[in-house]
Amino acid sequence: MHSLSGVVVADFSRVLSGPTATMFLADLGADVIKIERPGVGDDTRAWGPPFLGEDSTYFLSTNRNKRSAELDLTDAEGIEAARELVRRADVLVENFRPGTMDRLGLGYQDARRLNPRLVYCSISGFGSGAGASRPGYDFVVQAMGGLMSVTGEPDGDPMKVGVALVDMLAGLHATIGILASLRERDQTGKGRHVEVNLLSSLISSLANQGSAFAAAGVVPQRLGNAHPSIAPYELFETADGQVAVACGTDRQFVQLCRAVDQSAIAEDPRFITNRDRVEHRTELREMLTAAFSRFSTAQLLSCLEETGVPVGPVNDLAEAFNLATALGLEPIQYVKGANGPVAQLSSPLRFDGEVPAVQELPPRLGEHTEEVLRWLGQSQAVEANR
């Protein structure tokens, strides 16, 4: 994919939100230069197990198609090289605590003077105002932002999502802001300062749960796998396992009941409309559970899928990847590595039916330092970083 061919991205970010955004840009053809601490690099290089050889699979997940340059930002030569990179870049992405880049002389105002066309993206935990001093960690934001309060069983503890979802959301939002600003720059010739914070990314993504509070003052509670506004929409036990059932319409509910020989449930006045079913969800769940218990998981999936009722098994990751592969969705790409092919997660995007190719594996620490610094004309910095 070459949509962003010629776009240079100065990537001063680390861990997950920023590297996710810059990986998306790299997948679209941008030249992403990842600036890393000499001898240490991105924190996630050490986050394991699991490792693939010496590489943490965490680091491998968000750093493909990039170049790595080690720069000491506490050193005069390193700062000068960074400033030269800013002069030449189209985009800068950073997720230091607010104020850090200013202290280095690389904050937005400094960068704007060096390069008025630069799109400068800052990702923080809680914004650059009153929350600037708070460190931004996904787990803490899931707790403080309310996501954990609606995740988990009603009588259990609040639970985090199984991946760092807020970091991923912030990375996606940052990518959208960067692409919009690049489009605007094409028209005006001037860059923008794009600001994204984890808390706002989470709150804006709470969808129906957030709207319930904002519009109606309702504070949602944990419902396990049930849905606050739709029924039946949860996991159900079968004779030998579980299935996920999601009836979003009255018609689907009728089809569901007929498929399991329980038309009487669909005709029960308590369950005619979705609003009725939500109000009587406990009774409905008991009746459907009794009906489903007569079927094996395979039998139930078969009869419901034939009617078009949204239903699925509870897969582990191996089964999920196998499903995506069987459907032709190409969830994995293999890239040649020093010791054989290395698996990378594919982009979910399709352009004219094609998935953006993974051109390069995530770089070794400092793999491109010399070539980047030579391009920047920083010969002294090359010597200093050897």
DSSP per residue, 236-292 = EE-SSSEEEEE--SHHHHHHHHHHTT-HHHHHSGGGSSHHHHHHTHHHHHHHHHHHH
Taking CA 88 as the corner, what is the angle to CA 85 and CA 92, rounded to the nearest 5 degrees?
65
Q: Which DSSP symbol is given to 163?
A: S
Which residue, among 14, 20, 71, 86, has the nearest Cα to 46 in the 3D structure? 14
Is residue 94 within 8 Å of 18, Cβ to Cβ? yes
DSSP per residue, 166-229 = HHHHHHHHHHHHHHHHHHHHHHHS---EEEEEHHHHHHHT-HHHHHHHHHH-------TT--SS
- Residue found by looking up tokens 């849905």 in the block: 227
The catalytic residue among 31, 167, 186, 276 is: 167
Catalytic-residue membership of 240: no
* Cis amide leading into 310 (omega within 30): no
Is residue 297 within 8 Å of 304, Cβ to Cβ? no
Q: Assign 7 to helix, strand or coil.
A: coil
Give the integer Cα–Cα distance in Å for 128 and 99. 8
Which residues belong to the active site? 167
